[in-house]
Amino acid sequence: MHRKLATDTLVVRVARGVPEGARDLVAVEEPLAIVAEHGPPEARERTPLAVTMRTPGHDLDLARGFLRSEGVVRAPGDLLALRHCAGTRDARRGERDAGATRHAGSERDAGSNRVRAVLAPGVTLPPRLFNRRFPTTSACGICGAASLDALHALGARPLGPAGPDAPALDARALRSMLEALEAAQTCFRHTGGTHAAALFDQRHRLALLREDVGRHNALDKVIGAATDEALHAASALVMTSRASFELVHKAVMARVPVLVTVGAASSLAVEAAERFGLTLIAFARDDRFNVYAGAERVAFSESAGRRARTPAPVEPGSRPPMEARG
């Protein structure tokens, strides 16, 4: 069955102080529980891992991306299957083999707000996940790594330097990527209420895009939908939101070397990007952007380099208004 991404609702529109009844489309937000089936064959257990508020659709991709970001799934054989659950019985039509093609993450989900991840007998759950079984809003993520040291514990490794054949990211390529990101946002175009995350290949072409009310969910959906080969060959992840620590965490775990956001970057996001060798670009708009870490992957013209000036201190309240989504 198709899951609704937007729903029609009555609103009162006010213009110049005059109210008027109207109808509007709003993005759907519903809880999704992720449950792990794990343990030895003779003593399997089912453990709730997280509940996140998300826009229905691509739920299996979201769960796969979450498991990868949290360091639960590290090798292809770690995840045996993903399936939607209806109550205590599996909705078999929503089942998808973990090794199947992940080209789109079908919108024809099983109509359930519960996903079960069947893990291989040798996979153990990180202890921190047992302390985090509570709902999270669409505004905050479900990241268990609260510090840079915790990221190391997840198995995060510093990203290596750009290869000699890797195309550098310049202003022209970045502008093209932002235009592609904007053009592909179907749900946002109708509701104005979703974030988007996009994966771009080595030629800076759009490879995957997902939308969700939660920025972390949108990114997990992209990471979960992409094959290992696509992630390895990716040039960048581009998002409509600000750059928070959780998004840097997910980009590092996915081994994508560049994260671009339309909004601002937080201090911990910058620190994590520097620690793990991620190129972090924020306030990206048209031909303007700020590089907060990993400038070696960004191409600058020689004339621009000659015009470089020592940056002046930033005064509070001096930021220009940005059309970014938090």
Query: Where in the sequence numbering do the catalytic residues fall?
Result: 140
Q: In angstroms, rounded to a whole number, what is the distance separating the alpha carbons of residues 291 and 297?
A: 10
Residue 74 burial (10 A CB sphere; 0-12, 13-18, 19+) = middle
Close Cβ partners of 231 (under 8 Å, ≥ 6 residues apart)? 199, 223, 254, 255, 256
For strand 135-136 and strand 45-54, is the pairing parallel, antiparallel, or unpaired?
A: parallel
Q: Show the tokens assigned to 273.
A: 């990007």
Amino acid (1-letter code) at residue 192: G
Residue 39 burial (10 A CB sphere; 0-12, 13-18, 19+) = middle
Q: Do residues 180 and 198 touch, judged by C-beta distance below 8 A?
A: yes
Residue count (the chain)? 326
Q: In angstroms, rounded to a whole number, what is the distance separating the alpha carbons of residues 4 and 12?
A: 23
HSE (side-chain half, CA atoms, 13 Å) at 37: 18
Q: In the block, which residue shows the tokens 């019985």?
A: 89
Residue 176 burial (10 A CB sphere; 0-12, 13-18, 19+) = middle
